Structure 1
Amino acid sequence: MKAKILSCTILWATFFFLASASDPSLLQDFCIAVNDLNVTEFINGKFCKDSKLATGDDFFFTGLNVPRNTSNAFGSTATIVSVDIFPALNTLGISFARIDFAPNGLNPPHMHPRASEVFIVLEGTLYGGFVTSNPDNRLIAKILHPGDVFVFPAGLIHFQLNVGNTNAVVYAAFGSQNPGRTDIPKALFGSTPPMFTGVLTKAFQVDTNIINDLQAPYRMDNSFEVYKNIINDLQAPFKMDNYD
């Protein structure tokens, strides 16, 4: 009997944990976020507009048809429309984005800690994929064409590279009103303040000069072309059983 009670307790705790690990469940029709301290309803860290005053304009967003500027080091621009930009998304558990790619443009390895992503190609040809978690760290990737859809699971590192000769455009949808984004290169090599070099040299099994080169683009307005000369050195320890 005690074992049965314990099993039920663990089961309910698991359900509670899973429910708490995503956006809160919707307990009303909607909560349009407003910056008004006089209102009394407060959900997901946002004050709610009086639902009786809601209009169609509150649920309307425009501008995703406008191409973004991709003149940057990576040749891509991701425009995420989260609750902070579109207040009607509050409590709905969704958000979306437009990603623009120049030829050879890269949406660098990154992850969304709070949401899975559905990726829909509108224009261009992209190589996209993600890496599974430990212990296998398996790369799952595919060439994507207009009309193709790919899914990136929550919390996994993923990327997209424009492998065509023209610009590429993608729409993406997320299973959270605020999916978040962590760019892996910037997080490791461009943190503020900079991460202790000893941590990075030990983690990547390379010398200090390579780490300094990787951090350099974030200390000045430089191109990520600098990585091409050292990426083989970073990959080498994982291609040979020569590290502790």
Structure 2
Amino acid sequence: MAQDDEGQERYRAPALDKGLDILELLAATDDGLSQGEIAKALDRTPNEIYRMLDRLVRRDYVRRTPEDRYALTLKLFELAHARPPLHRMISQATPVLRNFARAAQQAVHMVVQDRNVLVVVAQVDSPGYWNVSIRVGSRIGLVNTGSGHVYLAFATPEERKLMLEEQDLGPEKMPRELEARLEGVREQGYEMTPSAQVAGVSNITVPIFGPLGSVIAVLTCPYTKRLDKSDAPDMPSVLKLLQHTCAEISQRSPESA
């Protein structure tokens, strides 16, 4: 036993221990704690606690309340559950996306928010011999894509600030016309905008909502007008198909169970 204790002491990481102590302490409280209360409970000075709290807040494990108290966010919960639900959502969404691609005669991709960065996690091509597609795993922009506009439009002010900071874009750097556009996106429930990357493409983006009303993913169709098929659905029709697809995926989503 003495040798085990000696080994544990040899490989101690004081800073990590301090951070874990704070997380475990906050996990046991309902209303959060002040910096002084945390320092007292852990038998440390407020200065020792300050820098660790600052890092935990910046990494979104802890939030600072308007009453100057600290409480856990849901990030640890998300880390523990992110992968299996995401895999299930993709698996259950894929046949629905294929149905959309056939009906709309357009490609479609799914985007999720991963640590305040937008990532393409699924892509289905149109049934024809050509389409506009985005590679799975690609990271896409916030302010110059339909997917980014929808996530920003439905984010809380705090979430929006974190998302912009993650890509080195503070609120003061966001164009005012974009703020007005985001309000419109939120009101109408979707985004429809010319692509900022490819000429002749219009991005149609619709959110997938979880049971608590938050956006858990978005679908974007890079719409291109078909000149070879006169019966191909037009843009308003594709929007309706995409909205129906999002509603069906939301019902199938593990987070809706």
Shorter chain as normaliser: what TM range?
under 0.3
TM-score by length of 1: 0.25
TM-score by length of 2: 0.24
Normalized per residue, the structure richer in helix is: 2
Normalized per residue, the structure richer in strand is: 1
